[in-house]
A and B are shown apart, each in its own frame.
Chain A
Amino acid sequence: MSVAAAEIRTAAPALSHRPWWRGKIVQTAGIVALMYLAYRAWSLEYPWPDRLTWNALPFRIDDFQIWLLDQENAEDPSFVFAVFDGFATFVDNLVGWFNRFLLWLTWAGTIAAGTSVALRFGGWRAAAWVGGAFASFALMGLWEESMQTLALMLAAVGLSLSVGIPLGIVAGLSNRFQQAITPILDAMQIVPAFAYLMPVVILFSVGPGAAVVSTMIYAIPPAVRITALGIRGVAANTVEAANSMGSTRRQVLTKVQLPLSRRMLLLGVNQTILFALSMVVIAGLIGGGGLGDVVTSGLYSNPSLAILAGVAIVVLAMALDRATEASADRTDPTRRHLTEAERGRLRMATAAFAAAVFAVVALAKVFGVAAIYPETATAQDWLLAKVQAALDYVTDPATFIFAITEPLGNFILVEIFQPLQQFLIEAPWFTTVLGLTAIALVVSGLRPALTTLAMLASIGVIGMWEPAMDTLSQVLVATVITVLVGVALGVWAAESKTVSRSLRPVNDVLQTLPQLIYIIPFIYLMPVSIVPGIVAGVLYAFPVVVRLVERGVRDVAPETVEAASAFGATRRQVLTKVKIPLAGDAIMLGVNQGIIMVLAVVVIGGLVGSGGLGYLVAQGLVRGEFGLGVVASLAILALGIALDRVTQATQGKRKEGIE
């Protein structure tokens, strides 16, 4: 998940005529062959033994929830609850205040204010994004909901950053803190939100406060990780120079490390925004309101409205992201050196913009402009009709599209997925555990192998072996497709600037558009249970793989490429014989990140029929089987850690190289 972390770690690979991974591939293939033989010999004979299972665990967790409920609703609840309650009330008020302020400005005033701020601090491009975003909310007839979501997200992003950046600074300065916090951050990102919604509701009730808390759980980790990376990325000799000139620790941090890691901090803000916006729908389930609610109820009664609301979420994310990026760029102190006259001009500009906004709001009040953009002047009906027409076409089984997609879906299911699923579920449990541990040992080393062993064993102990193997087979299929697509596009992007540039918006869309919006229409195209879930995983994960591979291929030392060209290699030869083999590290990292990203959307798979752990987690929330949901989530976490260790070869190598 830590994309940036990954990007940093892919420094130029070491030059050697035999890539390090070739031997490992042979060994891994050998282990898989042995596992297969064991499967043929003892299929179905050794499911995870009941003696080694802690069957009571879900009930213990249910008991805990009931205990918590009793405590919270007792006549005289402990002061601890008052603390949670106070925080929830504070956030409720904060969001409510933002929201009322946006409404008070009136829609015209809000557009004027947003655009002016973007223009003053970010320039024309940022202003066009913000103005365009607001205009689209108005035209889509989703003004009120968009403002609710905007208010919610301002609070969620602001609070996530105010917690995440300080923690990231500490993690950047202290190795011990970094090591202590990393597993917690992993858990926050991999454990599905469905598992912690209920405890959040017990502690923070429902409403914007609870919605912001659950969003923060998901959006804080990238802020921490990327800030820490930025601090660590500042060259050691620069810090030494500052130290030798007698700077205090605090001075080194505030005058050297923070300013120099500005770009990374910014990437952290960008990721925090995208992660937060990807939680809008889930936050809606516990009272977040706004666009998330439109998506959820739209999926049942008006799919094209759900799609419009999804588009609004994406537009909001991109506008926030582009505006913050542009503002940070323009105010970068290392790049601009303002003269006194320029400062005066800027102050004048600020005053002028403030006056303009004030004038617009005043005029709006005088002419009685409504708080919410009037329904009668939207293009919602027209847009809905267009979207519905497109949906009708796509979901029509009589078109040529279906004639291609249906057999393709069946092929993936019958020829690829089902044999793999059978292999993983029916093979003796001990050969699977030992085999995966051995692969981890070969690929990543002893310590990762031991972690893998522990994680796989605990999946069995908590009684999740079979659904976990089911999920694992889905994750593997999705990862293979992700890596194939990702490597192909990544190599292409490294060779072509146009492709590279067009990938960023694709990434933004796929990270923030609620998956159910495009997966449910997709079910019509490939009506087989597993495949839509796999597609959700692939679409969520492949942009990251593309970026990692692109970076890896680009970073191949130019001298090597020149040398190859000088010997008369064609462009194609340079690519296949030099660049791609040397980017092996980056590709391996892509596999690793791809798996983690695929796991992050397992629950979406559960909601569209994938079964396995995702189904159990979804059932945990919506059927009130809290314990079951938590246990299934723990299994997802354990599976995530195990798969990360199995595939983290490059990271281990890199760390050794750096330290």
Chain B
Amino acid sequence: MSKRGFVDKEEGWMSTRVRARFTLLLGASLVAVIGLVISGSALGSANQSCGTVTLNEQAWTGSTANTYVAKYVLEKELGCTVKITKITEIPVFQAMADGKVDAVLEDWNHVDQYKQFVTKQKSVVLVRSNGLVGHIGWFVPKYLLKQYPAFKTWRGLKGKESVFKSPESGSQGMFLGGDPSYVQKDKELIGLLGLDFKHVTVGAEPAEVARFTQQIKQQKPVIFYWWTPQYLNASLNLAEVKLPPRFKGCQDDASSGGTVKKYKCAYAADPLNKLLSKEFTQSGSPAVSVLRKFKWSNADQNLVAKWIAGDKVKPDKAAEKWVKANAAKVNAWLK
């Protein structure tokens, strides 16, 4: 650049060239300003009574189902403009504190974040239960129960662990662990129950799905960490292995530390929560009440999620289909 400038000066070209560039720049910025004005005015014409509501969708398909059903209802019934963000689970708390996200419709009990943002800062409002009940457990494919009916409970696994052996686990049975981001205590449970399993970490949810579907396709034995609601359950045909009953003070999240003994029980059936940003709840938007009342069942969510991920229906269309077939449920949110 500068070298050319040097040559230009020698030839006495600089002034005209600079002027030409300046004109070009001016033209470009003029176009830009017009662009801004036009797009700005287009944005300003949103519906006044509700305004814009920002919902956060998480990576799993159930969350997509929640978000698009809520979006459809808010747009059609209240005339809101709904924006969808896709921020990952932990950072979304700060996003709500900053008022950049208004609502999360499915949160799997992030206790530490509740402490910081809900109790201490009061920047996020926790709304207990969206109707969904999350439950984690140990699952095996049903075909396996034909040969080993005892696998219905953990006691039946004892002594038979080697059925699940793989090159990775050597002589032990292989237990496929869950996504690092999900609540889990399987390593502890395996030890407490005295089972001869090797806990193998398989990584994120899609990676875990890849691992066990490959076993299931070959009709091989496999035991793994899994949960409901999950749309794949309908097509996978799984059975849950019964773990020891729950007792008072029994815990599920091994990362919270403490004595190992408190993990020796089945995972709880936890109602899942909704989160609203404090700023949003005080905005007076009619959407607040609808999102507070938003509630549906595991079966509802699995159905919509199956349409989206299994049948590849566009989320907007899947939501429309469900809302039209479930007017009674939707009306309860609108009251």
Mask for A615-645, Cβ within 8 A of B = 1, else 0?
A: 1001101111100000000000000000000
The answer to the question of B87 belonging to the interface, with a C-beta cut-off of 8 Å to chain A, is yes
Docked CA distance A198–B101 (Å):
16
Shortest Cβ distance from B80 into chain A, in angstroms? 20
Docked CA distance A519–B166 (Å):
21
Are B94 and A202 closer than 8 Å at their CB atoms? yes
Docked CA distance A255–B211 (Å):
60
Given A104-B39, A286-B91, check contact A609 B207 (CB 8 Å): yes
Are B180 and A622 closer than 8 Å at their CB atoms? yes
Docked CA distance A532–B312 (Å):
27
Question: CB-CB < 8 A to A69: which residues of B?
Answer: 94, 116, 121
The answer to the question of A483 belonging to the interface, with a C-beta cut-off of 8 Å to chain B, is no
The answer to the question of B210 belonging to the interface, with a C-beta cut-off of 8 Å to chain A, is yes
Shortest Cβ distance from B140 into chain A, in angstroms? 17
Find the residue from B6, B90, B123, B205 having the highest chain A CB count within 10 A. B90
The answer to the question of B200 belonging to the interface, with a C-beta cut-off of 8 Å to chain A, is yes
Are B312 and A302 closer than 8 Å at their CB atoms? yes
Mask for B36-76, Cβ within 8 A of A = 1, else 0?
A: 10110000000000000000010111001000000000000
CB proximity to A under 8 Å, residues B292-326:
305, 308-309, 312
Stretch at the interface among B125-133, B154-162, B213-221, B259-267: B213-221
Docked CA distance A384–B312 (Å):
10
Question: CB-CB < 8 A to B97: which residues of A?
Answer: 73
Given B3, B90, B123, which contacts A198 in the complex, CB threshold below 8 Å? B90
The answer to the question of A79 belonging to the interface, with a C-beta cut-off of 8 Å to chain B, is no
Given A293, A297, A524, A622, which contacts B89 in the complex, CB threshold below 8 Å? A622
CB proximity to A under 8 Å, residues B88-144:
88-92, 94-95, 97-98, 100-101, 110, 112-113, 116, 120-121, 123
Given B61, B95, B203, which contacts A608 in the complex, CB threshold below 8 Å? B203
The answer to the question of B236 belonging to the interface, with a C-beta cut-off of 8 Å to chain A, is no
Mask for A332-368, Cβ within 8 A of B = 1, else 0?
A: 0110000000010001001000100000000000000
Are A621 and B90 closer than 8 Å at their CB atoms? yes
Are B32 and A206 closer than 8 Å at their CB atoms? no
The answer to the question of B204 belonging to the interface, with a C-beta cut-off of 8 Å to chain A, is yes
Docked CA distance A615–B200 (Å):
12
Are B91 and A615 closer than 8 Å at their CB atoms? no
Are B210 and A527 closer than 8 Å at their CB atoms? yes
In the complex, residue of chain A having the shortest beta-carbon distance to the beta carbon of B95? A206
Given A100-B39, A286-B87, A609-B203, check contact A301 B308 (CB 8 Å): yes
Are B88 and A621 closer than 8 Å at their CB atoms? yes
Question: CB-CB < 8 A to A103: which residues of B?
Answer: 39
- The A contact surface, by secondary structure, is helix
Are B206 and A520 closer than 8 Å at their CB atoms? yes
Are A299 and B94 closer than 8 Å at their CB atoms? no
Interface size on A (CB < 8 Å)? 71
Question: CB-CB < 8 A to A334: which residues of B?
Answer: 3
Are A608 and B207 closer than 8 Å at their CB atoms? yes
Shortest Cβ distance from B17 into chain A, in angstroms? 8
Are B211 and A523 closer than 8 Å at their CB atoms? yes
Given A206-B85, A523-B211, check contact A529 B27 (CB 8 Å): no
Are A201 and B94 closer than 8 Å at their CB atoms? yes
Mask for A535-566, Cβ within 8 A of B = 1, else 0?
A: 00000000000000000000000000000000
Are A609 and B38 closer than 8 Å at their CB atoms? no
The answer to the question of B35 belonging to the interface, with a C-beta cut-off of 8 Å to chain A, is yes
Given A73-B97, A104-B38, A609-B211, check contact A297 B206 (CB 8 Å): no
The answer to the question of B20 belonging to the interface, with a C-beta cut-off of 8 Å to chain A, is yes
Question: CB-CB < 8 A to B179: which residues of A?
Answer: 622
The answer to the question of A413 belonging to the interface, with a C-beta cut-off of 8 Å to chain B, is yes
Docked CA distance A70–B91 (Å):
15
Docked CA distance A396–B217 (Å):
8
In the complex, residue of chain A having the shortest beta-carbon distance to the beta carbon of B7? A333
Docked CA distance A619–B87 (Å):
16
The answer to the question of A205 belonging to the interface, with a C-beta cut-off of 8 Å to chain B, is yes
Given A300-B309, A609-B203, A610-B203, check contact A354 B27 (CB 8 Å): yes
The answer to the question of A131 belonging to the interface, with a C-beta cut-off of 8 Å to chain B, is no
Docked CA distance A350–B24 (Å):
9
Are B206 and A206 closer than 8 Å at their CB atoms? no
Docked CA distance A343–B90 (Å):
56
Question: CB-CB < 8 A to A527: which residues of B?
Answer: 210-211, 214-215
Given A258, A296, A624, which contacts B110 in the complex, CB threshold below 8 Å? A624
Mask for A290-322, Cβ within 8 A of B = 1, else 0?
A: 000100110111110000000000000000000
Are A609 and B181 closer than 8 Å at their CB atoms? no
Are A397 and B39 closer than 8 Å at their CB atoms? no
Question: CB-CB < 8 A to B101: which residues of A?
Answer: 206
Question: CB-CB < 8 A to B211: which residues of A?
Answer: 523, 527, 609
Are B214 and A395 closer than 8 Å at their CB atoms? yes
Question: CB-CB < 8 A to B147: which residues of A?
Answer: none
Docked CA distance A519–B210 (Å):
10
Are B214 and A299 closer than 8 Å at their CB atoms? no
In the complex, residue of chain A having the shortest beta-carbon distance to the beta carbon of B231? A301
Question: CB-CB < 8 A to A343: which residues of B?
Answer: 13, 17
Docked CA distance A608–B100 (Å):
31
Docked CA distance A205–B91 (Å):
8
Shortest Cβ distance from B56 into chain A, in angstroms? 9
Mask for A370-405, Cβ within 8 A of B = 1, else 0?
A: 000000000000001000000000011100000000
Question: CB-CB < 8 A to B95: which residues of A?
Answer: 201, 205-206, 287
Are A619 and B180 closer than 8 Å at their CB atoms? yes
Are A287 and B85 closer than 8 Å at their CB atoms? yes
The answer to the question of A285 belonging to the interface, with a C-beta cut-off of 8 Å to chain B, is yes
Given B3, B4, B167, which contacts A414 in the complex, CB threshold below 8 Å? B167
Docked CA distance A69–B59 (Å):
25
Question: CB-CB < 8 A to A625: which residues of B?
Answer: 255
Question: CB-CB < 8 A to A606: which residues of B?
Answer: 180, 203
Given A205, A303, A523, which contacts B98 in the complex, CB threshold below 8 Å? A205
CB proximity to B under 8 Å, residues A90-124:
97, 100-101, 103-105
Docked CA distance A608–B180 (Å):
10
23 pairs, A vs B, C-beta closer than 8 Å: A100-B35, A101-B32, A105-B35, A201-B95, A205-B95, A205-B98, A206-B91, A206-B100, A206-B101, A284-B86, A286-B88, A301-B305, A333-B4, A343-B13, A414-B167, A523-B211, A523-B214, A528-B166, A607-B207, A615-B201, A622-B88, A622-B179, A622-B181
Not counting A299-B204, A354-B24, A615-B203, a sample of 13 additional A-B residue pairs whose C-beta atoms are within 8 angstroms of each other reads A73-B123, A97-B32, A100-B35, A105-B35, A206-B85, A255-B6, A259-B3, A289-B85, A343-B17, A397-B214, A523-B211, A618-B203, A625-B255
Mark A residues whose CB is within 8 Å of B: 66, 69-70, 73, 97, 100-101, 103-105, 197-198, 201-202, 205-207, 254-255, 258-259, 284-287, 289, 293, 296-297, 299-303, 333-334, 343, 347, 350, 354, 384, 395-397, 410, 413-414, 516, 519-521, 523-524, 527-529, 532, 606-611, 615, 618-619, 621-625
A-B residue pairs, 7 tightest by C-beta: A622-B181, A301-B309, A523-B210, A619-B180, A609-B203, A206-B95, A609-B202
